[in-house]
A and B are shown apart, each in its own frame.
Chain A
Amino acid sequence: MKTICINCPLGCPIEVTESGGKILVRGNTCKRGHDYGVTEYLRPVRTVTTLVTREDGAVVSVKTSAPVPKDSIFELQRHIKTLRVPLAVKRGDTVERNALGLGADIVVTGVPPVAR
């Protein structure tokens, strides 16, 4: 697998291969690049940020409280789209625990003012 390490501006092009149960990382300049390569190879994860709809129709921004597997992003996004939050929702509130059993909560990051 080929990717680019994103841990510093150098952006080393790294290549990860597996042979005999061992994971080999090439192209990295430092250890952080090695660790990044291994995680990206074994189980790439991402924090998902998106929107949910509030009762009044306004959109409220949310995030996953922890990174979730990359290949579950679209399924999670479709699920989050179905959620509704009340007018009183505040930054930091949990909309749903352990969404889709992925081990992360859906947490509110920002709310627009309620129209007067």
Chain B
Amino acid sequence: MTDFDVVVIGGGPAGMAAALAADAEGARTLIVERDNRLGGILNQCIHAGFGLHYFGEELTGPEYAGRFVERVEKSRAQVALESMVLSLTDDRKVTYLSPEKGLVRINAGAVVLAMGCRERTAGAIALAGTRPAGVYTAGAAQRLCNIEGYLVGKRVVILGSGDIGLIMARRMTLEGAKVARVIELMPYSSGLKRNIVQCLDDFGIPINYAHTVTRIEGSPRMTGLYYAPVDERRRPVMSEEKYEPCDCLLLSVGLIPENDLLAGTEVERDGVTSGAVVDERRMTSVEGIFSCGNVLHVHDLVDNVSREAETAGRHAALYALGESETALHCYDARGERGVRYVLPQKLHADSGKVELFFRVDNVYRSCRIVAESGGRTLYSGRRLVLAPGEMEKIVVDTTGLDAPVTVRLEL
């Protein structure tokens, strides 16, 4: 006996879209969300830039979330708020802690993982120096600023040029802080170009590429930091170290899918994405457990999150209702030369046209993307520019697929 056909863990854009798709298939659906409202990270992303693809207009994060919340409220899907999922098993027993009901154990016909991701911290990147107050991840600063209404510093340095850091550079400038500089380890930005232009250039905030923070100073509150250029092997050149006074350092050094719940399962993980290995339905290596959104791989556009989650939610419903059909034969999809990972990592033969998402490992200009399977070319197309910060997509036809698929770049 199952309590719900589909249990969705996480009520961000991924969880909401997955639940709506499952509900549309007639599945009894529950969303379990630990926050006091749906919307996930979008609630704190008050800037515009969401929904151009999905809704055909540019919305702010809360507006994009709001549209989905309205749909969820109108659907039959149930929502448990302030409820944190504590464990998940291979046979789809979900345990969560709820303020009204205490510890709740439910059996799910299918589970959709939609827990999003968390930020890398100072510990995760091994930053030297003391541990004074004033060091935040950019997302934590964003939450404090946009949800709680606190400004975390007056003179700010941002390490890493990920989108959250760039967005926070503008946000804190608007709120009256001085953003002294952005320091990026790589020779290019991992953020979207529009964010470099509209968040840094617009306000005259300098960015030092191929630099890193070497030390933090001050106690109990930070008073400044040292930074230096790095050599080809990304080691700081200490002789060129410089000082920057500041009372706040924001870290925007990458996101990690929040997959701790998988510890109790046999779900196979991808070493590059840190998310699960999935097939085109977004089903993991454990039958009936699906994954989508940032917990599967880090997305830069929420529009892609919603689409991917719809795929996962629909197939989770079909699986739970016993209507899921796929060919027996399943093949790996892999990235080669220049392609860091391909998602989905598994493809069933004869599952129609499938979108393959991937990221490249460097900035490439004027190159060709080639997808091959057993000597057959599935896709070949030119791109003027490819960058690690922007997720790419190609479409391949899986009809008659009989060998693994590789995706690579030809310069």
Task: Write the residues of chain A forming the contact surface with B, with a CB cutoff of 8 angstroms.
Answer: 3-4, 6, 9-11, 29, 46-51, 53, 57-59, 61, 63, 70, 73-74, 77, 91, 109-110, 112-113
Contacts and interface: CB of A to CB of B under 8 A. Distances in A.
A51 B149 contact: yes
Nearest to B203: A73
A109 B193 contact: no
Interface stretch (B42-50, B106-114, B341-349, B403-411): B42-50
Contacts of A74: 174
A4 B43 contact: no
Nearest to B42: A110
A11 B363 CA distance: 12
A77 B173 CA distance: 11
B364 to A, nearest CB: 11
B385 A109 contact: no
B15 to A, nearest CB: 17
A51 B46 contact: yes
Q: Which 9 A/B pairs are nearest by Cβ-Cβ distance?
A: A110-B62, A61-B46, A6-B194, A59-B149, A11-B193, A109-B60, A109-B62, A10-B385, A109-B63
B149 A58 contact: yes
B384 interface: yes
A110 B60 contact: yes
B193 A63 contact: no
Given A29-B384, A46-B202, A51-B46, 8 more contacts: A9-B193, A9-B387, A10-B384, A11-B385, A77-B175, A110-B43, A110-B63, A110-B66
B149 A9 contact: no
Contacts of B174: 48, 50, 73-74, 77
Contacts of A50: 46, 174-175
Given A6-B194, A49-B47, A77-B174, A110 B36 contact: no
Contacts of B175: 50, 77
Interface residues on B, range: 20 to 34
B201 interface: yes
A91 B64 CA distance: 11
B52 to A, nearest CB: 11
A46 B198 contact: yes
A53 B149 contact: yes
A91 B37 contact: no
Interface string B383-395: 0111100100000
B197 to A, nearest CB: 5
A110 B69 CA distance: 11
Contact of A6 (B46, B63, B197, B384): B197
B202 A9 contact: no
Nearest to A9: B390
A91 B66 contact: yes
A22 to B, nearest CB: 25
10 contacts: A6-B198, A11-B193, A11-B385, A47-B58, A48-B174, A61-B60, A63-B46, A63-B60, A74-B174, A113-B36
B237 interface: no
